[in-house]
Amino acid sequence: MRRSSPAIGLGDEGGFAPPIYQPSEALDLLTEAVKSAGHEGKVKFAIDPAASEFFECGRYNLGFKGEGPQKLSSNELSDLYNRLLRDYPVVLLEDPFAQDDWNSWRDFNKTCSIELVGDDLLATNVDRISMAREHGACNSLLLKINQIGTISQAIAA
């Protein structure tokens, strides 16, 4: 694991944004923090890649923080997720693929052993939920009343 200088950055939604270059570095830091706090074996992780945000021209661009382009195919991204699921105590994966990359969602869900949550994929929208069911795209829904607009629409979802 490459060590970087300390960071005081915040992510888009207010989360801590350390200077890391690979997803495994973030999980290594979390694992180390859990162990240092005396909670090893008691804490599980959830990951929300929000992959629609880095989906470009049919590929997933993981090149960020000055590392240059690192564009992965859906299969390569699936392999990355599977390594993370194998190596870390991850119990939930939310939006691992772009919201309209139905084939990747379906293929990954066939062997996914954890909660595979559609948020951007489903958008608390009845039509998208039906499409996800038809595609076998995910096994969990993130229901957000404020995402669809009305309580009756959320209930329908």
Residue recorded with tokens 């270059």? 21
Residue with tokens 């470009």: 56
What mean pLDDT do residues 3-26 have? 70
| Confidence (pLDDT) at 33 | 94
- C-alpha distances in Å from residue 34, one per residue of 11, 27, 41, 68, 79: 21, 10, 9, 31, 26
Domains, the chain, in order of start with CATH, read 1-43 (no CATH), 46-156 (3.20.20.120)
In the DSSP assignment, the letter for residue 2 is -
144 is catalytic: yes
75 Cβ contact partners less than 8 Å away, ≥ 6 residues apart: none
Q: What is the pLDDT of residues 27-49, one digit of tens each?
A: 999 999 999 999 999 999 999 99
Identify the pLDDT of residue 83: 96
Q: Between residues 8 and 86, which one has the greater pLDDT?
A: 86
**Residue 93, pLDDT above cutoff 70:** yes
Question: Which one is catalytic: 13, 56, 76, 110?
Answer: 13
User: Please, what is the angle between helix 102-109 and helix 74-87, to 10°?
Assistant: 40
67 is catalytic: no
- Confidence check: pLDDT of 5 > 80: no
Confidence of residue 55 (pLDDT cuts 50, 70, 90): very high
Pick the catalytic residue from 35, 44, 65, 144.
144
Q: What percent of the chain has pLDDT over 90?
A: 66
